Structure 1
Amino acid sequence: MGVQAIVAGTVFALTEAARNLIWRCEGQKVFDLFRTRLAKSILIGVEFLIAADIVGTVIVEPTMESLGVLAVIVLIRTFLSFTLEIESEGRWPWQRGSNRHQGPMV
């Protein structure tokens, strides 16, 4: 499901970008919207993949080694999700209440 979410989101983002270019929208706006849509589809896909790893590790012989591997995978994917969210939203996750990013992120 994670891969399907990424593929479907990519197709949707490409279709929307093509449609916006045909309607002669500003190129930068089309690109920004495409990046946002693509990042969100990747985030959804990564969430599904993390859930699959957790379920797979718990169901199939949970050893200390498999739990360690799972922990590393979850850390990497969580970092990826975090950076993608910052990229797509333009602000830190804890700044969701504010309208837009205002100034450099510190």
Structure 2
Amino acid sequence: MHTEPLFAVVVTVIEVIGVLIVIIGFGIAAVLATRVLRRGAGGKVAYQTLRTTIGGSILLGLEVFVAADIIHTLSAPSFEDAAVLGLIVLIRTVLSMSIQIEIEGTLPWRRALLTSGGEVVANAISQEAAARK
């Protein structure tokens, strides 16, 4: 049974979904930023809303594209295809990480210290260190 045509259709559908995610995300970002601007929150807040929402849709779109690439590689596996997939995943991972850092303003491994759970752990560690002195 030849599954390559089926895989090609599935990959194409997933890639179209990825493109739609980015396009719809851009539209939602524009609407949200416009609403924030109309409420009088200011241009800076509207810009941050636009930037964060677009960045999130791009990140989600990239994840969908990686899934499509994985399925494409599974359709006709070869060493060359696996190497190309590895390179694509590496590039998209670096790109995703860069976008995430840009959106959140912090490194992913430092994000835990900025959240409530991380604050609790950090406070507990600092209190323990103070008690030892």
> TM tier, shorter chain?
0.7 to 0.9
RCO greater where, 1 or 2, for CA within 8 Å and sep 6 or more? Answer: 1
Q: Take 1:2 and 1:96, find their aligned partners in 2: how far apart are those partners? A: 27
What is the aligned partner in structure 1 of residue 83 from structure 2? 68
Large movers: runs of 4+ above 2 Å: none
Determine if the alignment matches structure 1 residue 92 to structure 2 residue 107. yes
Count of aligned residue pairs for this structure pair: 99
Gaps of 5+ in 2: 1-16, 116-133
Q: In 2, Cα distance between the equivalents of 1:97 and 1:67? A: 34
* In structure 2, distance between residues paired with 1:99 and 1:41: 23
Aligned partner of residue 97 in structure 1, secondary structure: helix
Q: 2:62 matched to which residue of 1? A: 46
Instruction: State the shift of 1:19 in Å.
Output: 1.3
Deviations 1:39-79 (A, max 9, x none): 01100010010011011101x21111111111111111111
Distance in 2 between residues matched to 1:37 and 1:95, nearest whole Å? 21
- Output the CA distance in 2 between the equivalents of 1:61 and 1:44: 26
**Unaligned residue ranges in structure 1 (runs of 5+):** 101-106
Q: Distance in 1 between matches of 2:108 and 2:35?
A: 30
Counterpart residue number, 2:21: 5
Q: Percent identity?
A: 39
Residue 124 of structure 2 corresponds to which residue in structure 1?
none
Task: Report the TM-score when normalising by structure 1.
Answer: 0.87
Identify the match of residue 37 of structure 2 among 16, 21, 25.
21
Greater Rg by CA: 2
Q: Distance in 1 between matches of 2:101 and 2:62?
A: 15
More helix by share: 2
